[in-house]
Structure 1
Amino acid sequence: MRDPRELSGAWSAFQHHGSAPPSPALAGVVSHYWWVTWDLRDQPPYRQLLPPTPSVHLTFPSDGEPLLRGVHRRHFHRVLSGAGGVLGVAFVPGTFRRFLDAPASSLTDRTVPAATIFGPDLPITGMAAVDAFLAARAPADPAGDEVADWVRRASATPDLRRVDDLAVLCGVGVRRLQRLFADHVGVSPKWLLRRFRLQEVTDTLAAAPGAPVDWAGLAADLGYVDQAHLSRDFAAMFGEPPTTYAARY
């Protein structure tokens, strides 16, 4: 049986979300700060579905140590219980490499204690303190900035489907594009284009919650052979078919 709190936005009755931009010193490196709080006292735990994003996230849970989450290529879950919250830092895709002594791909599909990267002096509370800490430790990285610009250009070009076309757009060869993506983003250009394509599905749902969706037409617009192919691809990345996902909202 599906948890009824997953349906029609019922989850918003016990959890609340917010976001804020970084300071000017971190513009172009940090995408945004985000936070979520929840209160499930006197309720059963809730299994939260988290879709993948191309960003590295630094998180400060209220019930534990700070964590660093690399790019996850598939959905995952977190069980919420009691009352709590998380403060998060979403890094611009391609920019976190400047904080590492290894390729960004070394963090892909992994979550590690943040202290292993930032040391014991990382603040554990307060957005302003975290912002100041990161700003003081963000060296210049021209290659990472260039890759981040390629990611932005890919995101802004909705009909971009093939890695060859992305390489042409960025003015580099395919192999160099793949190497730089592994080093700075942590995922392949192919995965990124697939994620952006499926983002158009969630954008369509968000634009008109509850409205009927022409799934066959949307599949064709996104370059899928038919609705079934779109549904399988979406479920593989987001954990459930698009019609099931749409019922959440």
Structure 2
Amino acid sequence: MKKRDGYDAVMAVKARGVLYPDEQSRYVDLTQHAPSAPLAPYVEHYWCVRWRVEEVYETKVLSHPNVHLTMEPEGAFVYGVTRGLFTRKLESEAHTLGVKFRAGAFRAFSGSPVAELADRRVPAAVCFGPEVDALGRAVQSSSDPDELVALAEAFLLPRVPPHPDPDALRAAELVDLFTTGPSLFRVDEAASAAGLSVRALQRLFAEYVGATPKWVLRRARLHELASRAEHGDHVDWPALALELGYSDQSHLIRDFTAAVGEPPTRYARP
């Protein structure tokens, strides 16, 4: 990790949720960069993806409960929470800079409940005005990650509110609680842990997160399941099913297959 201008760059990332990470690393270079202190309440990290492929390569991601601002070769876009399997076809040689906002934080920029962006990609100008298109062009004119992050920082800093929204901070805190080492599996359990009614928790997540508490809990289990499958040649599937709150191994297999498109035993195959 290296320091640069008050924030850190983290290199050679295997991001949780990226499927088939070893295969993807042959074609794609992914780096993550921490935000400066004033933007830390809003931005989880910046990410830069650079690729060079001779044929079309399709990436697959089990997305997190976060909104992203991206500067792609095709333009600048905002992606709401993708509740299904996110896929992207990469061609030729190019790069994209992304801003991963903290869960709950994008409400400050959207002007409306974040749930309205779910499963959508919209032109970034809808949320940030036409100036963001100039940022997108500037990002595509350089390939130096440090310079790209500096451009994004300069764009975002004047646009953040003077003080974070307490409800946004609460939403982020609860997403962390529900997704870090998943141990809560039902919405009523999650609401009890949050000290809220089920309905109040659902309203908070619709307004600030953009996905339901049930989806967040399920996605955390799938992330953990994919991670175990990637790193363990001999997974005890019945024991893992019990640990992750599934009724049995068949339930685990059905859930993973529905999300990824193949059973975990096949996904784990080297």
* TM-score between the two structures when normalised by the length of structure 2: 0.82
Match of 2:45 in 1: 32
Change (3 A) 1:205 1:113: same
Q: Give the distance between the partners of 1:9 and 1:203, measured in 2 at CA.
A: 12
Q: Give the distance between the partners of 1:153 and 1:220, measured in 2 at CA.
A: 20
Quick check: 1:94–1:145 contact (8 Å CA) kept in 2? yes
**Equivalent position amino acid for 1:162 in 2:** R
Quick check: 1:52–1:238 contact (8 Å CA) kept in 2? no
Match of 2:5 in 1: none
Quick check: 1:50–1:75 contact (8 Å CA) kept in 2? yes
Q: How many residues were matched structurally?
A: 238
Q: Give the distance between the partners of 2:196 and 2:88, measured in 1 at CA.
A: 39
Of 185-194 and 124-133, deviating more is 124-133
Per the TM alignment, residue 162 of structure 1 is displaced from its structure 2 partner at its CA by 1.5
Change (3 A) 1:84 1:8: closer
Q: Give the distance between the partners of 1:8 and 1:141, measured in 2 at CA.
A: 35
Q: Give the distance between the partners of 2:218 and 2:61, measured in 1 at CA.
A: 17
Q: Does 1:154 align with 2:174?
A: no
**Equivalent position amino acid for 1:192 in 2:** V
Change (3 A) 1:91 1:238: farther
1:240 aligned counterpart, secondary structure: coil
Per the TM alignment, residue 10 of structure 1 is displaced from its structure 2 partner at its CA by 3.4
Quick check: 2:113–2:206 contact (8 Å CA) kept in 1? yes
Q: How does 1:94-133 map to 2 (within 5 A)?
A: 94-122=104-132, 123-124=135-136, 125=139, 126-133=148-155
- Cα deviation, 1:46-78, whole Å, max 9, x if unaligned, reads 1221222111111111x2111110001110321
Q: Which runs of 5+ in 1 are unaligned?
A: 1-5
Q: Give the distance between the partners of 1:87 and 1:239, measured in 2 at CA.
A: 28
Q: Give the distance between the partners of 2:264 and 2:37, measured in 1 at CA.
A: 37
Q: Give the distance between the partners of 2:118 and 2:227, measured in 1 at CA.
A: 25
Quick check: 2:62–2:223 contact (8 Å CA) kept in 1? no
**Equivalent position amino acid for 1:100 in 2:** S
Of 75-84 and 7-16, deviating more is 7-16
Q: Which runs of 5+ in 2 are unaligned?
A: 1-18, 140-147
Per the TM alignment, residue 157 of structure 1 is displaced from its structure 2 partner at its CA by 5.5
1:84 aligned counterpart, secondary structure: strand
Match of 1:245 in 2: 267
Per the TM alignment, residue 44 of structure 1 is displaced from its structure 2 partner at its CA by 1.9
Match of 2:4 in 1: none
**Equivalent position amino acid for 2:80 in 1:** G
Q: What RMSD in Å do the two structures reach over aligned CA positions?
A: 1.9
Change (3 A) 1:167 1:7: closer
Per the TM alignment, residue 7 of structure 1 is displaced from its structure 2 partner at its CA by 6.8
Match of 1:224 in 2: 246
**Equivalent position amino acid for 1:134 in 2:** L
Per the TM alignment, residue 203 of structure 1 is displaced from its structure 2 partner at its CA by 2.8
Quick check: 2:42–2:105 contact (8 Å CA) kept in 1? yes
Match of 1:81 in 2: 91
Match of 1:236 in 2: 258
Match of 2:36 in 1: 23
Which has the higher relative contact order, 1 or 2, with Cα contacts under 8 A spaced 6 or more apart? Answer: 1
Quick check: 1:106–1:186 contact (8 Å CA) kept in 2? yes
Q: Give the distance between the partners of 1:73 and 1:10, measured in 2 at CA.
A: 23
* TM-score between the two structures when normalised by the length of structure 1: 0.89
Quote the sequence identity (%): 42
Q: Give the distance between the partners of 2:96 and 2:267, measured in 1 at CA.
A: 23
Q: Give the distance between the partners of 2:124 and 2:224, measured in 1 at CA.
A: 32
Q: Give the distance between the partners of 1:186 and 1:141, measured in 2 at CA.
A: 16
Match of 1:49 in 2: 60
